[in-house]
Structure 1
Amino acid sequence: MNNVTYISPEMQALNHKTKIIDDLLGGTYSMRKAGREHLFQMPLEDEKAYKNRLNRSTLYPALSETLSQMCGRVFFDPINTVDVDEKIQQEFLPDVDLLGNNLDVFASQWFYAALAYGVSFVLVDYSHIQQAITLADEKALGARPYLIHIKPQAVLGIKYERINGQTRLTQFRYKEFIILDDGEFATKQVEQINVYEIGRVRKFRQGVDGGEHLLIEDIAMKINGKPLDFVPVIPFVTKNTGHHYFAEPPLMELAYLNIKHWQSQSDQDNILNTARVPLLARTGVSDDSAVKIGGSIIDLPKDGNLFYVEHSGASIQAGQESLKELESQMRVAGAKLLDKTVLAMTDSQAKDEQSKEISLLRLYANRFEDALDLTLEYVGKWLGIENVGKVEISGNIDSDYDPNASMDTVIKLNAAGIVSKQTAFNESKRRGLISDNVEWEDEQARLDGDGIDDGFSSNENSTNSEEDENA
């Protein structure tokens, strides 16, 4: 297949799942826009009734909230940089993507995407400048490495081979949209496909009116005059499918439950809308004569009867219980990332040799450290730096599920003299019970101030007592 737009079967399969994830992450608007993909039309439901029901439906954001909470745990504390080269610290980390995002911000977006979709990629590119001839010229003109975050939806295909006993990425194709001028004032989007290979990158841009993609650039990638001997793309995989660089969303089951809740909630809202309006019925009428209702007088035919038919409410209650059960199942599905179990880890991932039981979220965080370390290594290669250092992610990953309940235990440990007051303060702050803006030293100063006030009050009371005795 020589068509540069060809999408590999593996990426097609993943894209089917990422479409579901994207619809849920897009909220109510995206779910309504998806229409019948996630909300079925009843056999006897006409188009107008279905549209009305669809436009009344709202999404319970279980998946998006779970992803935000899990990422919040991983990046609860800033990423620690250990022995990172000073040049990288000062010139690269504050703005890693040339868009103003520092390492923490960029890393959190990368991790979020991989946790949502199963895999996400980062390209370590270098800003080449045409008039530069040597590396020194490029540096003088401000050329530097930078990171490009590539979600799996943009990836068309990946090739890899066994080279010197290691699995190496040999080709990486992805698409992006380039903004070009369209006349003096307007702009237009044009699809471009980039093909990165060892020592080479080619760029194909779509022709006029959606025509064939034409080669516009064929660049040799070199460092200090030598061809680059690797493809500078780092895949971060959370849930692996058994094939290199291919994955599936780790929270896919939660996504299916979330869609089921969307459908059930729509049914529940629909039946509530019906049940709230009782039906007016009449009996004893054998012809088509109309019933006259005016003011407080109702004109009925002889032997006729008029009454309201109302819903019993039993099915409404059953539907509400079903929704609560679904919400409970979704909480359990999301919390499985925090369940500790025995997981296979590499030596670099085994942070605690005394216990091999870790949660999936901790495993993903450990893998992400390796991905960030490799990213820094590639940045170092562009800059000619060998010892680039490494990163560490501490976060708030392995803490309890209910931080409020466990705080009582911390207070008891402090009262028993097992932990200090400052440790108790830090633990309450880590659980979000105290604002991040409050510092221990400031609180100590306030407490000391309160103690001085109490002392004055005590002295004043003592003085008054002595005067009473003398009297």
Structure 2
Amino acid sequence: MTDVRTQSAEAAKLNEDCALIAALLGGTKTMRAAGKRYLPQWPGEDDASYTLRLAVATLFPAYARTIDVLSAKPFSKPVTLGEDVPERLKPWLQNVDLSGRDLHSFLSEITQEAMGYGFAGILVDFPKAGNLVTKADEQAAGVRPYFVQVHVQNVLGWLPKNATSLDGLTQLRLLESVSEPNGDFDTKEIEQVRVLGRGTWQTWRQSETGSKKEWTLHEEGVTSLKIIPFVPIYGKRLGYMQATPPLLELAHSNVEHWQTKSDRQNALHVLSVPILFTKMLGDNAITVGAGFAVKSESPDADMKYVEISGAAVEAGRKALLDLEDQMRQAGAELLIVKPGGTSVAQTVSDNEQGTCALQKIIQNVEDAADQAMQFMAQWVGEPEGGHIGIYKEFGTFNLAQASADVLLKAVQGGFISKETFHEEMQRRAFLSPDVSWEDEQDRLQLQGPDLGVL
């Protein structure tokens, strides 16, 4: 029988690539710490030589840089709030996680995490009410819901395992680290497991009874929500609560580059040191340097430095450059727009034809943020949480201008309304989110007809 801290088979599968990704994102220091896992010790290589080779190995951070660049593109423009976002929620989004991050920064960082690890989550939590009894008491005290960024490695398990229930999850287990006072001048980190149910919560901590350690219930309580307010975000979705890093092959190529670069670095060290070769010099001691001579009585005696041509070094350099080109291409492919129909009717009826892989990921993040805001609204009795917009027009053929042109043709052809055109231009960040459709109509009325228009 497993305890509350044991990771389920499904959660272990979700986490199976995390060690590799964490090592690459951690840089040279973390890759060195991983040792033989990613830099094998070759047959015949003694421990001292391997230790030295590992100590001087450096990582070309292709994976980390690619994740940074790609995940930053959607947030090069501010996240926009829809007009349906309740006024009550708007100030909360300026400090959405109660640790200083606004919604834009929070979504930017969680997108980077989902891109890198393939999965991330948003838990919409609510502080313990304590002595507060009514909603009015909570509002007066400033108690309100907030977002919690959940790392994939903190997911221990969920029920139902296949997530086929129409009501969503019935249980979610998350690993947490809690900071508590440790004397007057220090704190200590305590590991605990949070178990969320529909309308219930528990925290479990490890306790010691003699020499026996076991996980026991620490706290529990009930909530006003009869659902688990958790939203998954996928890098590359395989199924509900199952995903993989979208650039996993790039990660493996980066490890190959780490190994190849180490081999080449070691070869350069060996080949750059000439080897002194002597022949028929007898047993006399040899001193090499200015002011010294070497004497031999044999007519066949010889003494010279032997150097290797370096053809293998050039081959290794080319292999590294080829790997770097492949890694760049792997990252760029997420920005390639899918070929498909380009007519106005096709684009209006099926926008999927004009999206790249990164845009699909961002659409998932956008939908997840909408769901999280809905949970935030439900915590305080608001009927709707509203919608947000994230910039997504970064395809390789200037998709922003292309889509704007398609929308213009659509409104001219009667496929969409002028108000919808206004909303879509606002969603694409061509218009400020502060410009409402009604205000724009009033301005057009005041502006009058264009010159030359009868």
What TM-score bracket applies, with the shorter chain setting the length?
A: 0.7 to 0.9
Task: Give the counterpart letter for 1:318 in structure 2.
Answer: A
Q: Which residue does 2:316 correspond to in 1?
A: 319
C-alpha deviations, 1:158-199, integer Å up to 9, x for none?
223899973612111011111222233332221100001111
1:319 alignment partner AA:
G
Please report how far the alpha carbon of residue 15 of structure 1 lies from its aligned counterpart in structure 2 after TM superposition. 2.3
Q: Which residue of 2 aligns with 1:219?
A: 221
Is 1:102 the equivalent of 2:98? no
Q: Judging changes above 3 Å, is the alpha-carbon distance between structure 1 residues 393 and 351 closer, same or farther for their aligned structure 2 residues?
A: farther
Q: Does 1:248 align with 2:250?
A: no
In 2, are the aligned partners of 1:160 and 1:167 still within 8 Å (CA)? no
The more displaced of 352-361 and 111-120 is 352-361
Give the distance between the partners of 1:205 and 1:50, measured in 2 at CA: 41
What is the distance in 2 between the residues matched to 1:195 and 1:293? 74
1:213–1:354 distance in 2 versus 1, CA, 3 Å: closer
Q: Which residue of 1 aligns with 2:288?
A: 293
Alignment-mate amino acid for residue 103 of structure 1 = L
Deviation (angstroms), 1:207: 2.1
Q: 1:187 to 1:174 in 2, by over 3 A?
A: same
Deviation by residue 1:235-282 (Cα, 9 ceiling, x = unmatched): 1122122x3111111111000000000000001111111111111110
Do 2:32 and 2:55's aligned partners in 1 also have CA atoms closer than 8 Å? yes
Could you say if the C-alpha distance between residues 219 and 81 of structure 1 is closer, same or farther in structure 2, counting changes exceeding 3 Å? same
The answer as to 2:261 corresponding to 1:265 is yes
1:119-175 Cα offsets, whole Å, 9 max, x none, are 111110001231111221122222110111011111100223899973612111011
Secondary structure at the counterpart of residue 204 of structure 1: strand
Residues of 2 paired with 1:213 and 1:301: CA distance?
A: 80
Question: Contact (CA 8 Å) 2:277, 2:305: kept in 1 or not?
Answer: yes
Q: Aligned partners of 1:125 and 1:37: how far apart in 2?
A: 38
Mapped to 2, the partners of 1:277 and 1:352 lie a distance apart of: 68
- What is the CA deviation profile of residues 317-359 of structure 1, one whole-angstrom value per residue up to 9, with x for unaligned ones? 000000011011111111121122279xxxxxx9874662311
Equivalent residues of 2:125, 2:146 under 8 A apart? yes
Q: CA deviation at 1:296?
A: 2.9
The CA distance in 1 between the partners of 2:23 and 2:147, in whole Å, is: 27
Deviations 1:3-52 (A, max 9, x none): 10121112223323011001000011110111111001122221121111
Letter aligned with residue 235 of structure 2 = T
Aligned to 1:460: none
Q: Is the 8 A contact 2:179 2:190 kept in 1?
A: yes
Q: Structure 2 counterpart of 1:255, which letter?
A: A
SS in 2 for 1:229: coil
**TM-aligned CA distance change 1:15 to 1:161, over 3 Å:** closer
User: Which residue does the alignment assign to 1:132?
Assistant: 132
Preserved contact between residue 118 and residue 247 of structure 1 (Cα < 8 Å): yes
Structure 1 residue 229, shift from structure 2 partner: 1.9
SS in structure 2 of the partner of residue 101 of structure 1: coil
The one-letter code sitting in structure 2 at the alignment partner of 1:107 is L
TM-score (norm 1): 0.78
Percentage identity across aligned positions? 34
Q: Does 1:150 align with 2:150?
A: yes
Change (3 A) 1:301 1:292: farther
Q: What is the distance in 2 between the residues matched to 1:183 and 1:210?
A: 26
Give the SS at the match of 1:376.
helix
Whole-angstrom CA distance in 2 between matches of 1:169 and 1:339: 35
Aligned to 1:70: 70
Which consecutive residues of structure 1, in runs of 5 or more, have no partner in the other structure? 223-227, 344-349, 407-429, 431-471
Q: Which moved more, 1:17-26 or 1:179-188?
A: 179-188
Q: Which moved more, 1:365-374 or 1:392-401?
A: 392-401
Aligned match of 1:199 = 199
Whole-Å separation in 2 of the counterparts to 1:16 and 1:298: 64
Corresponding residue SS for 2:303: strand
Structure 2 partner of 1:174: 174
Going from structure 1 to structure 2, the CA distance change for 1:210 and 1:32 (only over 3 Å counts) comes to farther
Retained in 2: the 8 A contact 1:161–1:170?
Answer: no
Determine the C-alpha separation between the residues in 2 that align with 1:369 and 1:180.
Answer: 35
Partners of 1:276 and 1:162 in 2: CA distance: 59
For the residue of structure 1 that corresponds to 2:158, the secondary structure is strand
Post-superposition offset of 1:395: 4.1
Please name the residue that 1:87 is paired with.
Answer: 88
User: What is the aligned partner in structure 1 of residue 412 from structure 2?
Assistant: none
Map 1:6-25 to 2 at 5 A: 6-25=6-25
Q: Is the 8 A contact 1:128 1:138 kept in 2?
A: no
TM-score by length of 2: 0.81
1:284 correspondence with 2:280: yes
Of stretches 188-197 and 290-299 in structure 1, the one that deviates more from structure 2 is: 290-299
Matched, 1:306 2:303: yes
Number of residue pairs the alignment of both structures matches: 390
